[in-house]
Structure 1
Amino acid sequence: MIDFLNNINPLLVNFILVVLFSLSLGMERRQQYETKSTKQTFGTDRTFTFIGVLGFLLLIADPSSKIPYLFGMGVLAVFMLVFYIFKAKKEEHYGMTSVLLAFITYGFPLFLSTASIWLSLLLFVVVLIMAGAKKPLRNVSKEIADDEFLTLAKFLIITGIILPILPKEDIHAYIPVSPYKIWLAVVVVSAISYLSYLLQKYVFPKAGLLLTAFLGGLYSSTASTIILARKSKNHDEHPKAYTGAIMITIAMMYLRVYILLMIFMPSIIRLTLPYFLALFIISLLVGIFYYRANHNNDKLETINTALEDENPLEFKVSIIFAGLYVLFSVITNLVLTNFGESGLSLLSIVVGVTDITPFLLNLFQGHYQVEHIMIAIATFQVMASNNVLKAVYAHIFSGEKTKRYIWKAFSIIIVANIIAVIVLYFL
């Protein structure tokens, strides 16, 4: 079978792909025309197939010259111009989709002959999807807020403009990290938060409590804990459901930190995987247990559980994050220099009452002479400490009935986290 596939003439493969691509576009055009009242149709399945085949034949007619192919393109351009002028005068409609698709169809054989097969297939898929996605795209564009394009522009600025121009040399002996690594941390965290933000706002705008917990935990487990706790005050008849949702945000914290670890310090992902996996599963099971133990879960679907719209790409937030990153870099370096690994262990516990992400990313990226096992211990200690802080937040902000279950649920996770730290100490 493999020998047979290897012996197939590449021209035959290209011809088949050209026919399939052209025919698919033509069928899509026919479907679009049949849903409209217009009679000014340029062509459908057969016409587009003939255009693709014509482009293929003229391309291979003289392999050493593209003159026949370019001549055919000129003839096609004349026909398309006549059609477009007639259509615009007759219907006063100036859409160019059919014209552009006709040129793409004609150009596909040339693209196929110069690009790799996977890139040609990617073009195939993208054009087909975009050709038939007019109505869905129009509906999506109506839902997108005006400032979302500005948000996207900010993301492109911090990733494609600022990051590449930053120096990669360490700032100072007391700050053993480069501006490039600092901003790379900002970019990665912003990307994860931005993805969660987009899913929450546009893909699942009316998400139920559980889905809100999953997405919110990926965005920020601390912020989600506070928001869900506050919402539980207004819906205190569902204390176990909100307790379960908060526990799920904790599970997503473990997943989020492990993703960051895989990106910035893959050398210890095997060492830490069993502990992250165990804590993720325990947190998830505790969350699901409490959620399922709640009465009248069906009524939760009518509650607006969406997290507040907070732009995760504000430059002020990025600058604060970068500042915290540098601060933790200085503190971590000083602690290691003066107190060694025991100082780092104590520091990780103290840092848990702050924003732990800058500290962890600095730890994962830093050039510190610290054993991998110590970095793993510090990572789990800072998360355990941070869970205590979130338990306090949840207790302060949640409703009276929800408070009865908060500490019970958090105790299970905190104890499991501490056990993981103890096991790592004995390795």
Structure 2
Amino acid sequence: MFQSLLHYVPNDLQMFILVVVFAFIIGLEQRRYHINEPFENLFGTDRTFTLIGILGYILYIIDKQQLYTFIIGACFIMLLLGIYYFQKISTEKKFGLTTILIALIAYTLAPLVYTQPLWLTFSIVILTLVITEAKKSLFAFSKLFDEDEFIVLAKFLVLTGVILPLLPAQPISVSIAVSPYQIWLAVVVISSISYASYLVKKFIFPNAGIIITAILGGLYSSTATTVILARKNRENPDDSTILPGILLATLMMYIRLFLIAYIFNRTIAFALLPYFLFFILVTSIIIAGLLWLHREQKVNKTTTFLITKGNPLEFKTALVFAALFILFSLVTSFVFRVFGNSGLNVLALVVGVTDIDPFILNLFQGKMVISEGVIVLSVLNAIVSNNILKMLYAIVLGAPLLRKKIWISFGILIVSGIGISLWLFLTKGT
């Protein structure tokens, strides 16, 4: 019904109403924002901004093709705003340009509503309001950045926006079936997940306890998180959240690997999904059981800072990962060509005690003719081997009092993984 009513309203009138409403809302926000300032210090608020929007509309519709009148009007508005700005500097010693820039945005509303989708105009107006009102929040947020933060961001942009598009998509050679683009894309995906985890930890949960640290650390590296939390346990043996945190990091590993698989090979991702859901369910039950056993103990609220295994955005780390990716591509291709499916499954068990990401990514986007079942079994074998490594890290580095529970907890995961691998091997012939 609303659409049918709009049919009777001329399009120019609709656009005019939108411009007036948007400009008026911006003006109201400026009046509220400057409510405590002397009125004579402002060049205007709600009425002025609405009139600026109307002026922009008039000068735009007069000549929509050449836009001479609109451009002349813009120059006139900028001249007036420039006079106001220099007067403000000389009298108040204030150099802020925010209000002037918002006035120019109000002036450009007319061409926006005519030439751009309505959602874009809404987004611009909303973002203008939010940025203006969030001044104090943005200032507090900027204090969280240290001197190296923008260097890290620049490295991330170089990895994703400069290096990746320049790389060729052709395979390196016959023996190395992957292309430089595929190799670096794997680096970018892993770095993006790690960087996102780092940003959430630092800016959203800067004072997070062990549980949140385990969740975010597991997205980066469940092995590294296990090492850090196990050492934390030796420092504080009575903390009942250490082992649940270690297991929670392992749980996040399944989510992380599914995301990687979904990005590179959705068929394999959905083939792995039932097994990952099973392991997530088993791990969750173990975690819940441990927390229930220690429900009477006081939970440690102290902050845990996750020390990662290396900055994922360092070029050295990225080059090492790329080198490992190529190495595993050669090794995987050789093992599969010489020893077939059985050799690949054994290799998966071996690489589980190292960094499993390069090996698994090779399976996800490799050019070898490997069946879906073999890839799934190889991934599960690598995970079993990696869980054994984490169990050993936790036992060696953690407090002696925790060793029995580590054996039982990880033992359930490892035996479950071996059982599923054997079932796949026997029933599906992979």
**TM-score of the aligned structures, taking structure 1 as reference length:** 0.94
Tell me which amino acid in the other structure corresponds to 2:237.
D
Q: Which residue of the partner structure matches residue 282 of structure 1? A: 282
Q: Which residue of the partner structure matches residue 182 of structure 1? A: 183
Alpha-carbon offset, residue 96 of structure 1: 0.7
Question: Retained in 2: the 8 A contact 1:241–1:293?
Answer: no
Q: Which residue of the partner structure matches residue 191 of structure 1? A: 192
Tell me which amino acid in the other structure corresponds to 2:306.
L
1:62-113 deviation per Cα after TM superposition (whole angstroms, max 9, x unaligned):
3344222223212212221121121111101111111111011101221222
Any idea what SS the aligned residue of 1:300 has?
Answer: coil
1:209-243 deviation per Cα after TM superposition (whole angstroms, max 9, x unaligned):
211111110011010011011111122112x4211
Gaps of 5+ in 1: none
Return closer, same or farther for 1:416/1:97 CA change in 2, 3 Å cut-off: same
Identical positions, percent:
40
Any idea what SS the aligned residue of 1:193 has?
Answer: helix
Distance in 2 (alpha carbons) for counterparts of 1:21 and 1:401: 65
Q: Which residue of the partner structure matches residue 369 of structure 2? A: 369
Question: Retained in 1: the 8 A contact 2:89–2:95?
Answer: yes
Question: Retained in 2: the 8 A contact 1:391–1:406?
Answer: yes
Question: Retained in 2: the 8 A contact 1:196–1:215?
Answer: yes
Return closer, same or farther for 1:338/1:223 CA change in 2, 3 Å cut-off: same
Distance in 1 (alpha carbons) for counterparts of 2:407 and 2:358: 27
Return closer, same or farther for 1:5/1:294 CA change in 2, 3 Å cut-off: farther
Question: Retained in 1: the 8 A contact 2:268–2:364?
Answer: no
**TM-score of the aligned structures, taking structure 2 as reference length:** 0.94
Distance in 2 (alpha carbons) for counterparts of 1:135 and 1:417: 51
Alpha-carbon offset, residue 276 of structure 1: 1.4
Q: Which residue of the partner structure matches residue 259 of structure 2? A: 259
Q: Which residue of the partner structure matches residue 79 of structure 1? A: 80
Any idea what SS the aligned residue of 2:224 has?
Answer: helix
Q: Which residue of the partner structure matches residue 307 of structure 2? A: 308
Alpha-carbon offset, residue 118 of structure 1: 2.6
1:194-219 deviation per Cα after TM superposition (whole angstroms, max 9, x unaligned):
00001111110001221111111001
Distance in 1 (alpha carbons) for counterparts of 2:297 and 2:205: 19
Greater relative contact order structure (CA < 8 Å, 6+ sep): 1
Tell me which amino acid in the other structure corresponds to 2:303.
N
Any idea what SS the aligned residue of 1:308 has?
Answer: coil
Output aligned runs, 1:14-413, within 5 Å: 14-36=15-37, 39-238=40-239, 240-295=240-295, 298-301=298-301, 303-308=302-307, 311-413=311-413
Question: Retained in 1: the 8 A contact 2:60–2:69?
Answer: yes
Distance in 2 (alpha carbons) for counterparts of 1:304 and 1:65: 62
Return closer, same or farther for 1:401/1:9 CA change in 2, 3 Å cut-off: farther
Alpha-carbon offset, residue 280 of structure 1: 1.7
Distance in 1 (alpha carbons) for counterparts of 2:15 and 2:404: 67
1:101-132 deviation per Cα after TM superposition (whole angstroms, max 9, x unaligned):
10111012212222222322222232222222
Return closer, same or farther for 1:282/1:71 CA change in 2, 3 Å cut-off: same
Distance in 1 (alpha carbons) for counterparts of 2:323 and 2:220: 20
Task: Give aligned pairs, total.
Answer: 425
Distance in 2 (alpha carbons) for counterparts of 1:213 and 1:6: 54
Distance in 1 (alpha carbons) for counterparts of 2:120 and 2:339: 55
Distance in 2 (alpha carbons) for counterparts of 1:69 and 1:311: 50
